[in-house]
A and B are shown apart, each in its own frame.
Chain A
């Protein structure tokens, strides 16, 4: 039996695809790198099937690339061919546990689906900035896309989970690690272990190289009973830093983010042709958006004490700016909580593709004080490569009370324009090099260009990562070539 026949034996004929044309939707996203074809796509319906595929892959030394989302923001690049393990049909919500504020979901469940389900329970999962409606909740969280909610207490959103090790064993973590789970006295609210190692940490940011998650318990929270949203305009990001620190140190608000006018216009413009330019011009160069929330009891009173504290900070720390309840040129801020707590609407072009059709993100972590240096440097590198520095979108996300910052530069480009694509590719690569010199911390090194540059600089970490991978994935079957192995 050849590989395809063996796979068919596991999942049936209909769920093995090897026609290149039919495989394209399973891998194609936005990428500056050329597409690569896998040998086949295998759709599985549960952990048992997935484990069988992984075991087979180990026997035949075939790469396995797990995939969960309905669409891919970035292309999936099977660097060495192999099997795309498609879990997008695994969409079960096993349990909505309001009492302990968690939901147990499979990897194919998307933001759009989960959001609409939780809405009925007046619950939510704190989300990053506009996850795509049909992207997987589990992979978004595994990849550690930063939450808009900056409060440390609401982090570590993945609790105990079920996984498949690279050698094919099905395994449960944390307090779900009982054979007959969910029977027994553990309901999976503790994520760590079992034992002295932590599979969750190894799976996070691993891009499928360390194993496969087949369900996870994810934290859910109450939808606030009331909100009040403010927009604080600034001319430069530098002027915003003290405001962010002061607000975050006082634990004011839940969601808080900083966007330049290009990105905010791409998000808020009703119509790109008519509205975008006007909006971009009217918006302040930088906007700091913050949502004050009121929980179950006396929601307005909580908002009131936070608002009072916010105004005191404004008067003392950033008197040059204002605390507005409108976004200049757009209108009232009261619509923002709903917008920001939803995935990007499925029927609309994704916000990053609205301007030119495609976007390459440069993302890394740093400390807040260093952000201006990065902005200056990346703009300089962009200019040197013929990319208009003012055409870069910038998004800064304070993380955990602003103890660190997610920095995102959006290089917008026309995917049909080969010249522009080449310029952006060069600018992107040089920006990574420049950012690394300034000690950017790349926790999510997507794509070969990024991962090669980043791992090259981290020799001892990389060595250790390789040793760990060899111990857990001796045949190197899990998404080989994606990171440093």
Chain B
């Protein structure tokens, strides 16, 4: 219970204007029917009891100390694109970090320091001014830079800019008890240029394959690595409804190809990686194909409906690869890479297609609302970063599983997901995408939940691969003797050491998942049936 006295104490830290327990305010932070249709949010989601908006690291630290002293659970939120940023426990203190708006680019040392209120659109705009760039995540440029680095950080650009784990440099972290700790070169100095620790690297506590989703304190400031790109301008093309950046075509271009088969597509991607060229390469799933031609969601469904089933099936089975080449060094680099790309394309009999030299998704602007919200609800059931061949096989397995759950999942004609190259070709990447209608019947939504929380995670056990999404949706991953083994146990050791009262975003995914499955008869029954 957040008493009057505690409320006053918090108010004295952030000021009257930046704290509230007014029902209307709290409703704005609700985790109930937020547009998310996850079982976890549906079962555990709440309104917070109090919302505070601290202004800086020190205020966050003071707020957390008060919470810690009084045994109050708290949930950090940056831009609230995920339900884990909302209250999932009683009497929760919502710590809204949007006032932390530091944004400083150190162009010479190729990094930027951001507060938790900064989103990718802002960071990328500043970076590009200095001939530097980062990867805007697939989730869109409207998401927070810090939570994305802490939890996710995937995009076709990770082929060249590496995964977010590697881009985290010095940072300020409020531990679950409110103490401030500084990692990387900030441990002994004032310049955040480096993330490696003195000896062991404590960034290893802050995120692994995914992050803690707010369950191990709050990062208030982070320095992230930026990578050199050319210093040519991206010109905004139209504004408002269709907002694109026009590429400086002599330095940066898209190349789309139709591949004669899936195997040709795979070999094409690998050959390009082995040739050590390119800035990104990704397969284009069916939904994105229609999206690319649509001017609105309505237009999307019109176009979709115009095509008969057979045509949509054909679209799915056409393998389109999209490459991004960048002349980082000079125009001549782009010419060279284009020559190599065309040679490899010819080898695989891939046909070069026309494409517009504009971008609305990956470089700076985000189109997550259209890209992911076609039906009003979206979720990735699996994400794998590993050998491209494994990503392809896993996509095939999931397509088979999905068929059993379609409908209620949106029909996509056996589409095998979004896959791309990653980490300079040392790995591939798969996300298996799913859309459904959040207003569907209870029975259908239960079926969809079984797919996410039980059948999908069990498939991963059956085919023998650990991947990053399952760990936050299902205890079948975290507490499984097959993975790690029991990798959740080691994370719990850290949680117990730093947050013994489990106050940071309670109950936290290490424990909430059991609660969700056990408290949901349909899932419990499915688990008993599906899991060996």
CB contacts (< 8 Å) of A190 on chain B: these are 209, 384-386, 427
Interface residues of A in 133-174 (CB under 8 A from B): 144, 152-156, 159, 165, 169, 171-172, 174
Taking the closest CB of chain A, its distance from the CB of B130, in whole angstroms, is 10
Q: Which one of A36-44, A83-91, A407-415, A464-472 contacts B?
A: A464-472
B99 at the interface (CB under 8 A from A): no
CB pair B225 A403 closer than 8 Å: yes
CB pair B465 A439 closer than 8 Å: no
CB pair A471 B494 closer than 8 Å: yes
In the complex, what residue of chain B is closest to A296 when comparing beta carbons?
A: B275
Interface residues of B in 179-217 (CB under 8 A from A): 179-185, 187-191, 193-194, 196-205, 207-213, 215-216
Given contacts A309-B329, A403-B109, A471-B494, contact A194 B426 (CB under 8 A): no
A16 at the interface (CB under 8 A from B): no
CB contacts (< 8 Å) of B208 on chain A: these are 192-199
B304 at the interface (CB under 8 A from A): no
Given contacts A195-B490, A202-B201, A470-B497, contact A441 B274 (CB under 8 A): no
CB pair A100 B494 closer than 8 Å: no
Interface residues of A in 110-153 (CB under 8 A from B): 144, 152-153
Interface residues of A in 21-76 (CB under 8 A from B): none
B353 at the interface (CB under 8 A from A): no
B86 at the interface (CB under 8 A from A): no
A210 at the interface (CB under 8 A from B): yes
Query: How would residues 63 to 99 of chain B score, 1 for a CB under 8 Å from any chain A CB and 0 otherwise?
Result: 0000000000000000000000000000000000000
Query: Which of A175, A301, A468, A483 is in CB contact (< 8 Å) with B497?
Result: A468
Interface centre among B161, B189, B277, B389 (most CB of A within 10 A): B189
A350 at the interface (CB under 8 A from B): no
Query: Which of B194, B386, B498 is in CB contact (< 8 Å) with A187?
Result: B386
CB pair B465 A468 closer than 8 Å: no
CB pair A458 B386 closer than 8 Å: no
Taking the closest CB of chain B, its distance from the CB of A44, in whole angstroms, is 21
Given contacts A441-B194, A461-B181, contact A467 B466 (CB under 8 A): no
In the complex, what residue of chain A is closest to B467 when comparing beta carbons?
A: A175
Taking the closest CB of chain B, its distance from the CB of A74, in whole angstroms, is 14
CB contacts (< 8 Å) of A464 on chain B: these are 175, 181, 202
CB pair B209 A483 closer than 8 Å: no
Taking the closest CB of chain B, its distance from the CB of A139, in whole angstroms, is 14
A331 at the interface (CB under 8 A from B): no
Taking the closest CB of chain A, its distance from the CB of B179, in whole angstroms, is 7
| Count, chain B residues at interface, CB 8 A | 103
Interface centre among A194, A200, A402, A472 (most CB of B within 10 A): A194
B526 at the interface (CB under 8 A from A): no
CA distance A271 to B385 in the complex (A): 50
Interface residues of A in 173-222 (CB under 8 A from B): 174-175, 177-181, 183-190, 192-207, 209-210, 219, 222
Interface residues of A in 432-455 (CB under 8 A from B): 436, 439-445, 451, 454-455
Interface centre among A202, A206, A402 (most CB of B within 10 A): A202
CB pair B207 A443 closer than 8 Å: no
Given contacts A297-B340, A443-B197, A461-B202, contact A401 B227 (CB under 8 A): yes
In the complex, what residue of chain B is closest to A183 when comparing beta carbons?
A: B464
Given contacts A190-B386, A194-B483, A199-B204, contact A152 B209 (CB under 8 A): no
In the complex, what residue of chain B is closest to A454 when comparing beta carbons?
A: B198
Query: How would residues 451 to 495 of chain B score, 1 for a CB under 8 Å from any chain A CB and 0 otherwise?
Result: 000000000000111111001000001100111110110110110
Query: Which of B162, B194, B275 is in CB contact (< 8 Å) with A365?
Result: B194
CB contacts (< 8 Å) of B510 on chain A: these are 196
CB pair A153 B424 closer than 8 Å: yes
Taking the closest CB of chain A, its distance from the CB of B342, in whole angstroms, is 10
CB pair B466 A178 closer than 8 Å: yes
In the complex, what residue of chain B is closest to A469 when comparing beta carbons?
A: B200
A227 at the interface (CB under 8 A from B): no
CB contacts (< 8 Å) of A457 on chain B: these are 188
Interface residues of B in 273-287 (CB under 8 A from A): 274-277
Given contacts A186-B466, A198-B165, A305-B329, contact A175 B385 (CB under 8 A): yes
| Count, chain A residues at interface, CB 8 A | 104
Query: How would residues 299 to 313 of chain A score, 1 for a CB under 8 Å from any chain B CB and 0 otherwise?
Result: 001101110110000
Given contacts A195-B208, A196-B208, A196-B212, contact A297 B199 (CB under 8 A): no
B250 at the interface (CB under 8 A from A): no
A369 at the interface (CB under 8 A from B): yes
CB pair B426 A102 closer than 8 Å: yes
Given contacts A201-B203, A369-B108, contact A180 B329 (CB under 8 A): no
Query: Which of A188, A197, A463 is in CB contact (< 8 Å) with B490?
Result: A197
Taking the closest CB of chain A, its distance from the CB of B247, in whole angstroms, is 18
A81 at the interface (CB under 8 A from B): no
A353 at the interface (CB under 8 A from B): no
CA distance A464 to B493 in the complex (A): 14
CB pair A179 B485 closer than 8 Å: yes
CB contacts (< 8 Å) of B197 on chain A: these are 201, 205, 443, 461, 465
CB pair A154 B194 closer than 8 Å: no
CB pair B212 A403 closer than 8 Å: no
In the complex, what residue of chain B is closest to A470 when comparing beta carbons?
A: B497
CA distance A66 to B194 in the complex (A): 27
CA distance A205 to B423 in the complex (A): 22
In the complex, what residue of chain A is closest to B339 when comparing beta carbons?
A: A298
Interface residues of B in 36-82 (CB under 8 A from A): none
A356 at the interface (CB under 8 A from B): no
Q: Which secondary structure dominates chain B's binding surface?
A: mixed
CB contacts (< 8 Å) of B389 on chain A: these are 99
Taking the closest CB of chain A, its distance from the CB of B427, in whole angstroms, is 4
CB pair B336 A301 closer than 8 Å: yes
CA distance A463 to B161 in the complex (A): 33
B258 at the interface (CB under 8 A from A): no
CB pair B387 A187 closer than 8 Å: yes
CB contacts (< 8 Å) of B397 on chain A: these are 185
Given contacts A297-B275, A401-B227, contact A193 B187 (CB under 8 A): no
CB pair A175 B465 closer than 8 Å: yes
Query: Which of B203, B384, B471 is in CB contact (< 8 Å) with A194?
Result: B471
CB pair B386 A186 closer than 8 Å: yes
CB pair A441 B471 closer than 8 Å: no
CB pair B196 A204 closer than 8 Å: yes
In the complex, what residue of chain B is closest to A312 when comparing beta carbons?
A: B330
CB pair A305 B201 closer than 8 Å: no
CA distance A296 to B337 in the complex (A): 12
CA distance A113 to B208 in the complex (A): 32
Query: Which of B131, B200, B423 is in CB contact (< 8 Å) with A468?
Result: B200
CB pair A468 B228 closer than 8 Å: no
CB pair B390 A186 closer than 8 Å: yes
CB contacts (< 8 Å) of B471 on chain A: these are 193-196
CB contacts (< 8 Å) of B335 on chain A: these are 305
Taking the closest CB of chain B, its distance from the CB of A104, in whole angstroms, is 13
CB contacts (< 8 Å) of B336 on chain A: these are 298, 301-302, 305
**A and B contact pairs by CB, cutoff 8 A, 5 listed:** A186-B390, A297-B339, A367-B109, A403-B111, A441-B185
**Contact residues of B with A, CB < 8 Å?**
108-111, 131, 160-163, 165-166, 175, 179-185, 187-191, 193-194, 196-205, 207-213, 215-216, 225, 227-228, 270, 274-277, 328-330, 332-333, 335-336, 339-340, 343-344, 384-390, 393-394, 397, 423-427, 463-468, 471, 477-478, 481-485, 487-488, 490-491, 493-494, 496-498, 510
**Contact residues of A with B, CB < 8 Å?**
97, 99-102, 144, 152-156, 159, 165, 169, 171-172, 174-175, 177-181, 183-190, 192-207, 209-210, 219, 222, 245, 248-252, 295-298, 301-302, 304-306, 308-309, 365-369, 400-404, 436, 439-445, 451, 454-455, 457-458, 460-465, 467-468, 470-472, 483-484
Contacts beyond the supplied A192-B208, A308-B330, A461-B202: 14 A-B pairs with Cβ under 8 Å: A100-B426, A171-B485, A175-B384, A185-B384, A185-B397, A187-B386, A196-B215, A198-B203, A198-B209, A297-B277, A304-B332, A365-B194, A400-B110, A436-B188
Q: Which 9 residue pairs of A and B lie closest in terms of their CB atoms, listed nearest first?
A: A184-B464, A193-B209, A201-B204, A193-B208, A439-B189, A461-B187, A305-B332, A471-B497, A186-B465
